[in-house]
Structure 1
Amino acid sequence: MKKGLLNFLALALTIALILITYQSCLLIPESDIHAPVIIKLSGWGASPSEQALLKQVLQDFEETHPQIKIKYELISTQYMDVIKTRLIGEAAPDVFYLDAFEAPFLMSKNVLEPLETYITPEFDLTDFEDKLLDAFKYQDKIYGLPKDYSTLALFYNQKSFATAGLESSPTTWDELLAYSKQLTIDINQDQRTDQYGFGVLPNLARQAYKIKAFGGQLVDQQGYATFATEASLQGLQLVVDQYRQDRSSAQPSDVGTNSGSEMFGQGKVAMVIEGNWAIPYLSTTFPKLEFSTSEVPSINNQPGTMVFTAAYVMNKQAQHKAEAWELISYLTGKEGMQKWTSTGFALPTRKSVAATLGYNQDPLRAAFVAGIAYATPWQAGEHLPTIMSSFDNQFVSAILGDQSLEQAMVRAQESANQQIKANE
């Protein structure tokens, strides 16, 4: 009798639990039961038009992937500082932009998810430009897929060229120097230069290919700065001499502007070396400006330019890695990349997409596409931020004549290497 009562009570308790569970389920909205996975994506600031384009591409992704929602965050200032802080605090986004310039440091810190296990043959990894993909490889692993890129090219003012009787763009640096003298003018004869021939940006990101032109190197095999050699100085001396002796070049600050694109657009300089990003800026901000582009003039018979790229990477602590990969594979896949680069804000890193969009035949973008074959990637190991800071500070002083180029570069190299050793 007692055993039967116990069995009855156990059965009653089981039924009660089933009823409670059933009623709880009725209280949960169906939308919550099937709620999509939220993937957090972070990137840096860009023009309003570019942000609108990214928003559209993300909406297209969500339409074809209803089980995933993207929460995009724009980090407008101190981007890498914010990302590094959040990685330390395990609060970083699932997917985020990573510049090739900063990639070696993060790839070496075991905070990024290797992507090999996610990549299938159908993704067609061989379609990427090797030089761009290699920027996100570390110890035989792939940590990022390049989303777009830009090289540098020469922009020149068509009206200024016509006025000076110049029929074509310079193809060598000697020609560029000669053209710059012809294009530097004082319209009102008041000892004030109204137009300089060339606009110069003295930062290392624009000078590294000049260091290589005569056989110099930015860093050695151990990652220490080594740009103060005689070979490196030859390329940099061209910049100093043009500014100080020829007086045919100007920095943005000399003419009251903030960038190379702005001083070119305002007609303060007739030529400037800029990235692909300058095309939409100039077309929008200075719609009446007539300009053309050509490949960067060769130095010492060596073709040279820089290439800048960024990748989508996955946080190693991401909670939904399969869904994070779905986003990365879409944005860097053929369909997503074509949508992203179709307006010309950026150039596609996939060769098939570039061929489809025909940028190698575009009058303004063909020079940028051609440059990828011989460009110097803006990447040089974990310590490049330190090296860049030391270089930029001292190179400007050499241009202004506060010290000789050799003295400035020796100081910059020693300062950089001291900081690198102190942080090891």
Structure 2
Amino acid sequence: MALSALSALGLMATLAGCGATETNGPGVTLKLVAADYGDSKDNSSEKYWDALVEAYEKDNPGVTVDVTVLSWNDVDREVKKMVDAGEAPDMAQIGTYADYADADKLYEVDDLLSIPVQANFLSQLADAGKVRRIPYGMPFAASTRVLFYNKELFAEAGIKSAPRDWKELAADAEALNKAGVKIPYALPLGPEEAQAEAMQWLVSGGTGYVDNVGTYQLDSEESVRTFTWLQDELVAKGLTGSTAPAKLNRADAFAAFARGEVGMLNGHPSLTRIAADQGVDYGTAAMPGVDGRARATMGVTDWMMAFKQNGNREEIGHFLDYVYSDKNVLAFAREYDLLPVTSSASATMAADQDDADLAPFLDELPTAEFYPAGKTSWATVSAAVKQRIGRAVDPNAKPRAVLEQLQQTASTADQRSGS
């Protein structure tokens, strides 16, 4: 990976996280609401935050940090309830920030973090945290997508290597189908995370949710071509399994891959552990594009933000400098099979053989494209995509019509939000 000035940034970030800023004095309690990345009680994010807070409070006896960890099913909604009730936490680590920034409820990142810590964020992640060019969202965890394939099933179907373009992908899916594979290509466009699978295919087809100036382009010719191809070449030919893509959720697709029932699918880093735990001999490759490797992959980041309501700006900034030290960033990424959000931690992970399973995802990060999270309309658009994009590939549907309806929803949401 081409990461510039890593040594200097890493040193500065370490210094910034070791008490470079003084807090205002005793008696301050900071409230943080965070999402749970664990899949069981044994690896709940509570354990990560408990250890981090214990170490921080030991060196900063005047500050107490009260952390509430909630499931991803609840955390965004519960934080919204708190904010609407006038009881905003000092910090929230959740999935979206733009609505709060647009309502002038958040501190700007420039007013919180020390310069070395802020400069250490990977640039494309930092850029995704801006509303009208002002940074409000701090990237907390990142992931990219690659193509996973079952090596054993590929061998049984006579396939020697991963597909490099859409034509090869369709041909491989046909071969897997003839070999009796239950789901040659898993296409999870169900409501759990359809916006992610859809974006991966949009990017591989040469487009995305928005154009270069941030205007939604869900019904562009490239988008229509992509979903028409999926409908004609995969779904209509029975190559996506017996469950309709509109009803197949990501978790179910991952579980099927771990059972050895799926030939290929898009996956994020946690699938490496899920598959390995079940003894699946898998390979990974860059996502195929229309005529060769896709120009980019899809990236996802979750966000940390700080609310102005309680006025603890200096204490919040000091704590977050500590949160973003290399030690803590790496500990979180390794525990939950995610990618670091800072340059120095990314360089450390890339050089460590113990993190070799994450190398393909790190390689994709510099060119990854992210959701338009800085648009206040994105929450509305994302919800609509989750519920409706799967219909675009139904055998009897007209992809253009479905995408035009989604474009109308996006345009209306954009006009109302002014983003």
Instruction: Work out whether the TM-score is over 0.5.
Output: yes
The structure with more radius of gyration = 1
Per-residue deviation, 1:247: 1.7
**Do 2:33 and 2:68's aligned partners in 1 also have CA atoms closer than 8 Å?**
yes
Does 1:84 find its partner at 2:80?
Answer: yes
Matched, 1:44 2:35: yes
Q: CA deviation digits over 1:158-180, x for unaligned, max 9?
A: 21122223332222222222111
Alignment of 1:274-293 (within 5 A): 274-284=267-277, 286=278, 288-293=279-284
Distance verdict in 2 for CA 1:316–1:299, change over 3 Å: farther
For residues 339-374 of structure 1, what are the alpha-carbon distances to aligned partners after superposition, in whole Å with 9 as ceiling and x for unaligned? 222445211111211221226865432221111122
1:388 corresponds to which of 382, 387, 406 = 382
Q: 2:66 aligns with which of 71, 91, 103?
A: 71
Match of 1:354 in 2: 346
Residue 195 of structure 1, CA deviation:
1.8
CA contact (8 A) 1:211 1:218 kept: yes
Distance 2:134 2:410 in 1: 29
Deviations 1:80-101 (A, max 9, x none): 22212211222121111132xx
1:172 aligns with 2:165: yes
Structure 2 counterpart of 1:315, which letter?
F
Normalization by structure 1: what TM-score?
Answer: 0.80
Runs of at least 5 residues in structure 2 that lack an aligned partner in the other structure: 1-24
SS in 2 for 1:170: coil
* Contact residue 35 and residue 93 of structure 2 kept, 8 A: yes
Displacement of 1:124 in angstroms is: 4.1
- Mapped to 1, the partners of 2:262 and 2:399 lie a distance apart of 24
Aligned counterparts, 1:209-220, within 5 A: 209-219=200-210
Query: 2:239 is matched by which residue type in structure 1?
Result: S
CA deviation digits over 1:259-290, x for unaligned, max 9? 32112112221111011122233344x2x222
User: Structure 1 residue 397 and structure 2 residue 391: aligned?
Assistant: yes
**TM-score of the pair, normalised by structure 2:** 0.81
Matching residue of 1:10: none
The answer to whether the 8 A contact 2:144-2:368 is kept is yes
TM-aligned CA distance change 1:221 to 1:89, over 3 Å: farther
Q: Secondary structure at the match of 2:110?
A: coil
Q: Is the CA contact 2:184–2:262 (under 8 Å) kept in the aligned structure 1? A: yes
What does residue 61 of structure 1 align with?
56
Q: Which residue of 1 aligns with 2:22?
A: none
Aligned residue for 1:364? Answer: 357
The 10-residue stretch of structure 1 (174-183 or 212-221) with the greater mean CA deviation from structure 2: 212-221
CA deviation after TM superposition for structure 1 residue 306, in Å: 0.9
- Distance change (3 Å), C-alpha of 1:320 and 1:224: same
- Residue aligned with 1:184, SS: helix
Residue 272 of structure 1 pairs with residue 268 of structure 2: no
- Does 2:96 match 1:109? no
Contact kept? 1:359, 1:369, Cα under 8 Å: no
- The answer for the alignment partner of 1:207 in structure 2 is 198
Please give the secondary structure, in 1, of the residue aligned with 2:346: helix
Q: Which residue of 2 aligns with 1:183?
A: 176
| Structure 1 residue 145, shift from structure 2 partner | 2.1
Separation in 1 of the partners of 2:358 and 2:261?
23
The CA RMSD measured in Å over matched residues stands at: 2.9
Specify which of 386, 402, 406 is matched with residue 412 of structure 1. 406
2:10 equivalent in structure 1: none
Q: How do 1:302-313 residues align onto structure 2 when only pairs under 5 Å count?
A: 302-313=294-305
| RCO higher in structure (CA 8 A, sep ≥6) | 2
Percent identical pairs in the alignment equals: 19
SS in 1 for 2:260: coil
Question: Conserved in 2, the CA contact under 8 Å of 1:144 and 1:312?
Answer: yes
Q: Output the CA distance in 1 between the equivalents of 2:141 and 2:320.
A: 13
| 2:318 partner SS | helix
Q: Which amino acid aligns with 2:103?
A: K
Q: Distance in 1 between matches of 2:274 and 2:258?
A: 9
Query: Which of 165, 181, 185 is 1:198 aligned to?
Result: 185
The number of residue pairs the alignment matches comes to 380
Q: Which has the larger displacement, 230-239 or 247-256?
A: 247-256
Secondary structure (helix, strand or coil) at the match of 2:69 reads strand
Relative distance call for 1:199 and 1:144 in structure 2 (3 A) is: same
Give the Cα separation in 2 of the matches to 1:196 and 1:185: 11
Partner SS for 1:92: coil
